[in-house]
Amino acid sequence: MSAEIISTGNELLMGLIENSNAKWLARKLTELGFEVKRITVVSDKKRDISQAFKEAIERETNVVISTGGLGPTLDDKTLEALAETLNLKIATNKEALEMIKLKCKVHGLELNQARLKMALLPVNAEPIENPSGLAPAVKIKTGKTIIYCLPGVPVEMKKIFRKKILPELTQKNKQLLFKERKAKLEGVFESELVPVLKKVREEFPDVYVKTRVVPTKGIILYCSTKGLKKEAQEKLNKVIKIVDSYVNWLSKERGRR
Amino acid sequence: MSAEIISTGNELLMGLIENSNAKWLARKLTELGFEVKRITVVSDKKRDISQAFKEAIERETNVVISTGGLGPTLDDKTLEALAETLNLKIATNKEALEMIKLKCKVHGLELNQARLKMALLPVNAEPIENPSGLAPAVKIKTGKTIIYCLPGVPVEMKKIFRKKILPELTQKNKQLLFKERKAKLEGVFESELVPVLKKVREEFPDVYVKTRVVPTKGIILYCSTKGLKKEAQEKLNKVIKIVDSYVNWLSKERGRR
């Protein structure tokens, strides 16, 4: 099962804020057994957002999650963009309108034009309640793809994901369990690891193995796989053991010279 | 002048690390007067990286900067991918080889196969010295696009950018000065700002104006523009003044009710 994340917002392209939403979602989707294939950051412009949706759909991605652009202001254009991509009209969604009305009533807010805008959804789209904000999230299916549009405010995004989307996606991917392990490798250069990494990749083709140089900390070996819990765990342990003993052997060789 | 950033690395798609490189580069490029149009995160796979380069070139982006995938390991495939995109052969670049040889000599490192790999560049590409690492960065021109491939290790990436790329890009965009201002808006809802934001956007079409809801902190008004220093500053001051006085008026109106 493949997934993509589309992050909208000029503030991301201007480097004003960290894209913490994408990192968080990538982590959650990976833990759920999805293969996150791409993260795309685009501007607030309708054309750019629409293009990003189009590309993800053309890649037949199973799940696409967007963040941002659902709010009341004029530069919140995600749903208009999505409607354009899917060649759908945009109209007031009754259910979304009720959600917004109720919130306004509870919090004593005026139901102004800007707030009514948040009930404008592509036809056939399904609103998802936003427990800590006004703008409903949106779900829509097209071909092989399910698209979820979430708000950009991290606390709102996370709550909706945990409450409404996580259970749905868990159902979809219930066979797969994601397992990972990290190990610190000392006294070795990344380039010296090439032969052993080649070996473990050949021996365990379904284990993802990667080294990362962290200045002052050395090399981090990361490996992950999907599968049944015990089996997956054992595979990762084997991989780490092979690399570890190679590193030990290397140190001894060096000592001998 | 448009720019794009391509971040390679499964660790980003798995949500293991923050894409701090992209944020940093986006900020630098914006400050240099570039419009960053897209940030794309792809896997370590040659096909995915090649596709991302292809798309950025097709969009006729002026400057494309990639990070990651230049190291000695087998999953470092950025240059192979780029060669594929540009339909170029890959070959040992003499200058790059000299850079690596010298480093190995200075640091007493063996010039092994894995390290030699880092001198394999697309033909016509230009190596850029990496002051704090082994893998040279790479520059190549194609049509309207200049592509810079930088290493993924943040300290290496930043040093190369500051020392070698920033001066080149400053030359390219020397007319433009980027200016920005932020202001905190209190006692107002985002949806109530729609009319005044519409007004300032019409009045100052070259000023980028955006509001952002920060939970517990309220609303941050952000505006930026490009132009001569004094003129740009004055424009931003005017925008903030207009929005501020609208917010004040709104509070008074509320008090009166």
- Mean pLDDT per 10-residue section of chain B, whose length is 257 residues: 96 95 97 94 97 98 97 92 97 97 92 93 96 95 97 96 94 74 87 90 92 82 86 90 91 79
Question: From the CA of A215, how many Å to the nearest CA of chain B?
Answer: 8
The percentage of residues in chain A with a pLDDT greater than 90, rounded to a whole number, is 72
The region of weakest confidence among A65-74, A178-187, B102-111 is: A178-187
Closest-CA residue in chain B for A224? B14
CA dist A86 → A47, A53, A123, B16 (Å) = 13, 9, 10, 33
CATH of the domain at B211: 3.30.70.2860
CA dist A128 → A11, B101, B163 (Å) = 25, 59, 49
pLDDT band at A23 (very low <50, low <70, confident <90, very high): very high
Tokens 């159902």 correspond to what residue? A171
Most B-contacting residue of A7, A8, A13 (CB-CB within 10 A), to test interface: A13
Between CA B157 and CA B148 the distance in angstroms is 11
Question: Is the confidence at residue A180, as pLDDT, over 90?
Answer: no
Question: Are B119 and B112 in contact, with CB atoms under 8 Å apart?
Answer: no
- pLDDT confidence of residue B62: 97
Please check whether residues B121 and B52 belong to one and the same domain. Answer: yes
| End residue of a domain, out of B151, B172, B193 | B172
Tell me the ipTM for this assembly. Answer: 0.89
Closest-CA residue in chain A for B135? A191
Number of CB atoms found within 10 A of residue B173's CB:
19
User: A202 is in which domain, residue-wise?
Assistant: 178-256
Q: What is the mean pLDDT of chain A?
A: 92
Question: Is the confidence at residue A176, as pLDDT, over 70?
Answer: no
Please check whether residues A183 and A148 belong to one and the same domain. Answer: no
Count: domains in chain B: 2
In terms of phi and psi (left: phi > 0; alpha: psi -120 to 50; beta: otherwise), the region of B30 is alpha
| End residue of a domain, out of A172, A187, A211 | A172
Please check whether residues B162 and B198 belong to one and the same domain. Answer: no
Contact: A71, B190; criterion CB under 8 Å = yes
Is residue B115 within 8 angstroms of chain A, CB to CB?
A: yes
Question: Is the confidence at residue A177, as pLDDT, over 80?
Answer: no
Between CA B136 and CA B156 the distance in angstroms is 10
Of B133, B68, B71, B135, the closest CA to residue B97 belongs to B135
Between CA A81 and CA A79 the distance in angstroms is 5
Please check whether residues B116 and B224 belong to one and the same domain. Answer: no
Between CA B161 and CA B25 the distance in angstroms is 9
Question: Are A26 and A34 in contact, with CB atoms under 8 Å apart?
Answer: no
Is residue B178 within 8 angstroms of chain A, CB to CB?
A: no
- pLDDT confidence of residue B176: 66
Beta strand pairing call for B208-214 and B218-226: antiparallel
Q: What is the DSSP letter of B77?
A: -
> How far out from the chain centre does Cα A257 lie?
48
- pLDDT confidence of residue A217: 77
Tell me the residues of chain B between 25 and 54 that have a Cβ less than 8 Å away from chain A. Answer: 25-30, 36-44, 48
- pLDDT confidence of residue B171: 78
Tell me the residues of chain B between 51 and 70 that have a Cβ less than 8 Å away from chain A. Answer: none
- pLDDT confidence of residue B218: 82
Q: b/e for A102-129, b at 16 or more Cβ within 10 A?
A: ebbeeeeeeeeebbbbbbbbbeebebbb
Q: pTM score, two decimals?
A: 0.89
Contact: A40, B42; criterion CB under 8 Å = no
Question: Is the confidence at residue A257, as pLDDT, over 70?
Answer: no
Between CA A163 and CA A175 the distance in angstroms is 21
Phi, psi of A26 (to 5 degrees): -60, -40
Contact: A14, B28; criterion CB under 8 Å = no
Is residue B254 within 8 angstroms of chain A, CB to CB?
A: no
The region of weakest confidence among A65-69, A139-143, B130-134, B252-256 is: B252-256
Measured between CB atoms, which of B10, B30, B48 is closest to A210? B10
* pLDDT mean over A137-156: 96
The residues, any chain, with a CB within 8 Å of residue B106's CB and separated by 6 or more, are none
Please check whether residues A105 and A61 belong to one and the same domain. Answer: yes
Please check whether residues B164 and B108 belong to one and the same domain. Answer: yes
- pLDDT confidence of residue B23: 98
Between CA B104 and CA B94 the distance in angstroms is 15
Between CA A84 and CA A72 the distance in angstroms is 19
Contact: B38, A48; criterion CB under 8 Å = yes
Please check whether residues B97 and B223 belong to one and the same domain. Answer: no
